[in-house]
Structure 1
Amino acid sequence: MRMPDRDDEQRSRFEISHCDLMGRLGTLTVNGRKVTTPHLMPVVNPGKMETRNAITPKELLETFGFRMLITNSYIIGRNPRLRDRAISEGLHRMLAFDGIIMTDSGTFQSYMYGSGGSEVDVDPLEIVRFQKDIGSDIGTILDRFTEPDSDHQAAEQDLSVTLKRAAASLEAAGTGMEVAVPVQGGRHLDLRERSGSEVRRLGVGYAPIGGVVPVMGSYDYPLLVDIIASSKKGLGPSVPVHLFGAGHPMILPLAVAMGCDLFDSASYIKFARDGRYMTRDRTYHLKEMDVLPCSCPVCSTRDPGDILSLPGEERTNMVARHNLWVLQTYLNEIRASIKEGTLWELVERSASANPRLHSAVRRMREHSSLIEGQSPRSTRRFMCSSSLSLARPEFARFSRDVRPLLRGNGEDRTLVLTDWGRSRSRNVVEALEPPARGWSCIVRTPMGPVPYEIMEMYPAGQSIFSDPSGLDEGMLSYMDEEMSVVETGGCLEWNGIGRPDDTEYDLGNREEGYAFRKLRSMVRFQFPDQDGMTADRVLFGDYGSLSELGDRLELVYSRKTGKLRNVHLMEEGRKLHLLSLRAEDGLFTLKIEGARRFHSGFSPPWKRVVVDSETGEFNAMGYNVFCKFVLDADPSIRPLDEALIVDQDDEFLACGKAVVGSDLMRGSRSGIAVKVREGTTPSKRDPEGIDEDKN
């Protein structure tokens, strides 16, 4: 028995390995050549490669590590010498570049140099065929550039032209070259979303967002956020997205967080010609600098005077090399932050350097549902420094998920710990674990009320907030609004110092079976209810206390930390391993017996990923689930969620951890959807049955 081939006839493939916000760490493969995303393409003008000390494509690849570049087919086609070389040698040989080469079509030249709405003198189909003839890996259609101030009617007409050209261009290109179809629509968000939907319907594997250079040039970053969000809504999450013309480092964290994967930069050389020196947050004029705040190979042994003393072209290329180092170094940090789950920190840091970027990050909150749908369930830490952080998807998600735990049983009184910074101090732990009989405990945090039982779970347990005096007005307002759901009339407030008022909170009369109540709250917080049925009841039954379960439940604690690690349940003489608790985020890992109980207790689509029965046999043996074979998935599944693998008949096959969210599982043709942890029919892996390198 062999697993079906995962590779169909695709010009390109995009596989995502890690997500954070809407940012994706992935691999784009085109014609066998690969790049890691997010990636920036330096713009290369082949007509200027022969100047003294010029930056060559080979240097871009071997020295700087740029494995993808972009050049302009319109410029090549208009130069007889370059045209003849490109046709006879092919782009890769002509440029001496073994990475991915993308070509533009001349659309931007129409915008920059056309007059009266005129376009460059090239046929839309001829330019696509030319790009294929010269060996471009990714060619671009000649779309219609929409001016930023175009009214809705004019923008709609431009979009209609672009889409007609796209359909004809795809047919003209045939196979062998990926075709980029830009999303257009000007500043009109409904047209952007419609354009994205039409581009997705065409089945393209690469989608730039066009017409945004004037938006960035005017620093209208809030509008840029809206344009990207609307375009992404139409495109869906599976196609790699290229933000045309975004080449300054300060915009990269925001654009990546909004779901852009690729960028291009001519600014590295344009800025250098004017003596402009890039940093992450701003641009300096070299002649005004006394020191170089950088340790790249250009700057580490030079001062501004050394560079200014060079002849013009040599000076330009020296500054351009510095600019390239800044771009590549920042991209490496962005990639690392996606893998670590700390991309938001880069976004917030960049926003602090520019008021318009600050406004753009605030605008992200208006797209919180879109961002939340593609954000992982947990990250390494949850750091918030101001009300700007309220745009993080964790706030809305936490508010939704914690509400069922705040309803209480109507009998307990509530103790509110007002200083969240002391929640894990020895004094507080001794007073609240277990609490006094008849009391529930809630912590007042910037996220709102947090039941004490889940204070070690993500995001509360991994949060880093300012102390109360350091919170800004926006954060305080949000906290008060969220705390309003708690009936505070009969609450006892305590700051965590000393002991709660003994006359009300009797430390001599503690709750029995608190460990079971805490476990049930933790399970309910992580795993959603369905039609009145709660996850804790599915796992443990309707037992109200640990004593009712007797010795059937076994909670295993770490000898070193005293923290819960494993949950076992005895049933018919068998010890069933239901759950394990992860130390890094305080969330549960679902074991096969726990997954089996959830499958029996909850009906579809609860946390299910549906695969076809043929590949499902391999998943049941422990092989990973690939997006290509996903037939359906619970819309609530997010990256890093626990997932149940089933076939079309809802037969339970395996459990594992989602790598991507449900939308991407259903829409992508490449990459892993779920890393299977355990299958229902464990078996030795057949090396002939599956490609181990891909599993």
Structure 2
Amino acid sequence: MFEIKARCASGRVGKWTIGKHAITTPTLAVVVTPNSRIVSIEDIKKIGAQIIITNAYIMKNSEHAEEIEKKGVHKFYGWNGPIYTDSGTFQMYSQGKFEITPEETLEFQKKIGSDIITPLDLFTLPNDSKQIAREKLKETLIRLKSARENVKDQLLCGPVQGGAFMDLRKKAALEVSKINPDVFAVGGIVPLMEQYRFSKLVDSILTAKMNLDPSKPVHAFGAGHPMIFSLLAAIGVDFFDSAAYAIFARQGRYLTVNGTRTASELHELPCSCPVCSENSARELVGDASLLAKHNLYATFEEIRTVREAIYDGGLWELVEQRIRSHPALLEAYSTLGKYRKFIETNEPVSPGHAFFYLGKESMQRPIVFRVKDKLKQAEFPKTSETFNWLGIKVPLGLKMVYPFGQSVVPKHRKSGTIKPVEAARQIIAYQYGIKLSRAKKLIKRYTEIELSRNTGRLQRISYKGALLGTFRDSDGYFIPTFMFAKDILKYLKGTYVVHVNKDVEQFVREGKNLFSKFVASADERIRVGDEVFVLGSKNEL
């Protein structure tokens, strides 16, 4: 089960229940192998890992195979949390060996007690022809269907392949969703990351994400460098895995969120983890174990930073800081423009964090495009007094509404005054996408407006002593009373409306929670955090 606890951009903090265990996402599975322990299991846990991932192909072909089968994978590694097993597809591709069948790897993973099982998919190379990629995808889907029939007691990973062909990526995502695995893993992306082809990486992940069941976590298979975590989380990746911490350490390389450094070239250690606090740059040279520990500390520090940015509502700001560390990341960020309509659907109405303008890249955020669309829908007259927000003319009545009232933008000034009644009309028109002329019929001339003594913000609206609604302090949006909601509903024409199944109507009327599976239909324009109108089978509020 995967429960979403917080959102920002397309990023999600989730609670993923795996058997008896629950982990918080976004997170990273640390790659461990039976033949080499560069960092102890105790240290891996201490540094912050909630889950580890190991390779079925390597285990089955190792000198410890018999011991692993006898003890089980948890006892062998001494790990009491969830363990994810990879089938070994990438290793067989990289080594040019094919010594295990799809059936054998499934049975082996089940026998050793893996918590998440991966079927043996066919790894699609970036330079594979479309015909080869299509054939590999077809076989991968056959294998996944068979795995779904055979894996009942553990969770099943669904690899999403397709190579460099986005139409095949789309088909893969749709077909894999139908098979209904427990986690989706976008595969075939390691070569893209090795070659710094981050734009193609974004294409591959977003094409898959747009066509996958949104209720399941998404794993970017092989993504383990902290410099890409924030960008991938912002486009909807929930899960990463890393062998990079060990591979790079053996090569004498030092991980940072801004890229990879050669340890022997460092004069200072730009990190305050225990390894870097207790050792000099010179002492790290040639010590793969110390480097690997540092690399894990740096990796999990960024994982926690990304999660906090989602909780805090500042994920886009974090992304815009990180993409400046490499030109290929900056280029990848510009690729998001192709997918802005999809990304906007996942963007909360207000993230709980002020809009910080950090440069021209900030103009590409989904909220900027949403603002333009909502202003157009409201049909504000050209005679309305406005202020300038990022080059957009915004009616003065919206100056306290997110993002306008919660922005930090250089040379951004909101001058001028407006009558409270007119401001209330503009907010309702903007919020619900109705024409300003209709909002004037809802908010009559002699409506009473209560303002905050400290900030001057609109707080409550009443008419002839009856409360019509209040304004949210966090973002300036309007919350109508039940009676006034009926009046607003007359002007909506089906927008911002949710219809519930007849079986749960009474429960909803009693104020109980409405779960998504009991929703009969919903307006596609509804976004996370919107005030909506819940209707019964007879279209009554």
Counterpart residue number, 1:324: 296
Counterpart residue number, 1:559: 453
Counterpart residue number, 2:255: 278
Q: Does 1:288 align with 2:265?
A: yes
Secondary structure class of the residue paired with 1:46: coil
Counterpart residue number, 1:631: 520
- TM-aligned CA deviation for residue 225 of structure 1: 1.0
Counterpart residue number, 1:387: 360
Counterpart residue number, 1:481: none
Aligned-partner Cα distance in 2 for 1:324–1:344: 24
Aligned-partner Cα distance in 2 for 1:79–1:265: 21
Q: Does 1:22 align with 2:10?
A: yes
Gaps of 5+ in 1: 1-12, 413-439, 469-494, 500-509, 653-695
- TM-aligned CA deviation for residue 536 of structure 1: 2.2
Secondary structure class of the residue paired with 1:102: strand
Matches within 5 A, 1:49-68: 49=37, 54-61=38-45, 63-68=46-51
Aligned-partner Cα distance in 2 for 1:339–1:651: 35
- TM-aligned CA deviation for residue 102 of structure 1: 0.5
Runs of 4+, deviation exceeding 4 Å: 404-407, 532-535
Counterpart residue number, 1:459: 403
- TM-aligned CA deviation for residue 148 of structure 1: 0.4
Aligned-partner Cα distance in 2 for 1:151–1:407: 52
Gaps of 5+ in 2: none
Matches within 5 A, 1:623-662: 623-652=512-541
Secondary structure class of the residue paired with 1:147: coil
Percent of residue pairs bearing the same amino acid type? 34
- TM-aligned CA deviation for residue 538 of structure 1: 6.9
Aligned-partner Cα distance in 1 for 2:517–2:379: 40
Secondary structure class of the residue paired with 1:625: coil
Secondary structure class of the residue paired with 1:208: strand
Q: Which amino acid aligns with 2:15?
A: T
Secondary structure class of the residue paired with 2:223: coil
Contact 1:395 1:447 (8 Å CA) reproduced: no
- TM-aligned CA deviation for residue 447 of structure 1: 4.3
Q: Which amino acid aligns with 1:88?
A: K
Contact 1:102 1:139 (8 Å CA) reproduced: yes
Secondary structure class of the residue paired with 2:145: helix
Bigger mean CA offset, 606-615 vs 556-565: 606-615
Q: Does 1:592 align with 2:478?
A: no
Residue 164 (structure 1) aligned to one of 138, 142, 147: 142
Counterpart residue number, 1:526: 431
Aligned-partner Cα distance in 1 for 2:267–2:334: 35
Secondary structure class of the residue paired with 2:532: strand
Contact 1:19 1:25 (8 Å CA) reproduced: yes
Shift of the 283–496 alpha-carbon distance from structure 1 to 2, 3 Å rule, reads: closer
Contact 1:579 1:588 (8 Å CA) reproduced: yes
Aligned-partner Cα distance in 2 for 1:257–1:559: 38
Q: Which amino acid aligns with 1:595?
A: A
RMSD after superposition: 2.2
Bigger mean CA offset, 452-461 vs 188-197: 452-461
Aligned-partner Cα distance in 1 for 2:136–2:319: 33
Q: Which amino acid aligns with 1:641?
A: D
Counterpart residue number, 2:328: 356
Counterpart residue number, 1:448: 392
Matches within 5 A, 1:157-556: 157-173=135-151, 175-308=152-285, 315-379=287-351, 380-405=353-378, 407-408=380-381, 412=383, 440-467=384-411, 514-529=419-434, 536=439, 539-540=442-443, 543=444, 546=445, 550=446, 553-556=447-450
Contact 1:41 1:264 (8 Å CA) reproduced: yes
Q: Which amino acid aligns with 2:527?
A: R
- TM-aligned CA deviation for residue 387 of structure 1: 2.0
Shift of the 120–369 alpha-carbon distance from structure 1 to 2, 3 Å rule, reads: same
Aligned-partner Cα distance in 2 for 1:150–1:228: 18
Aligned-partner Cα distance in 2 for 1:91–1:590: 56
Q: Which amino acid aligns with 1:234?
A: N
Contact 2:34 2:62 (8 Å CA) reproduced: no
Q: Deviations over 1:480-505 (max 9, x none)?
A: xxxxxxxxxxxxxxx999x9xxxxxx
Secondary structure class of the residue paired with 1:584: coil
Counterpart residue number, 2:59: 76
- TM-aligned CA deviation for residue 153 of structure 1: 1.4
Q: Deviations over 1:642-665 (max 9, x none)?
A: 12233344343xxxxxxxxxxxxx
Larger Cα-atom Rg: 1
Q: Deviations over 1:187-224 (max 9, x none)?
A: 11111011000011111120000000001111111111
Q: Deviations over 1:63-117 (max 9, x none)?
A: 122111110011111225x332333322222222122210000100122111xxx
Aligned-partner Cα distance in 1 for 2:79–2:141: 32
Q: Which amino acid aligns with 2:43?
A: E
Contact 1:22 1:257 (8 Å CA) reproduced: yes
Aligned-partner Cα distance in 1 for 2:9–2:373: 18
In the superposition, the TM-score normalised over structure 1's length comes to: 0.74
In the superposition, the TM-score normalised over structure 2's length comes to: 0.95
Q: Which amino acid aligns with 2:319?
A: V
Contact 2:420 2:458 (8 Å CA) reproduced: no
Shift of the 646–92 alpha-carbon distance from structure 1 to 2, 3 Å rule, reads: farther
Contact 1:250 1:280 (8 Å CA) reproduced: yes
- TM-aligned CA deviation for residue 58 of structure 1: 3.5
Secondary structure class of the residue paired with 1:222: helix
Contact 1:109 1:120 (8 Å CA) reproduced: no
Aligned-partner Cα distance in 1 for 2:428–2:414: 26
Contact 1:247 1:263 (8 Å CA) reproduced: yes
Shift of the 593–187 alpha-carbon distance from structure 1 to 2, 3 Å rule, reads: same
Q: Does 1:580 align with 2:464?
A: no
- TM-aligned CA deviation for residue 603 of structure 1: 4.4
Q: Which amino acid aligns with 2:217?
A: P
Counterpart residue number, 1:37: 25
Q: Which amino acid aligns with 2:421?
A: F
Q: Which amino acid aligns with 2:389?
A: T
Secondary structure class of the residue paired with 1:640: coil
Q: Which amino acid aligns with 1:76?
A: M
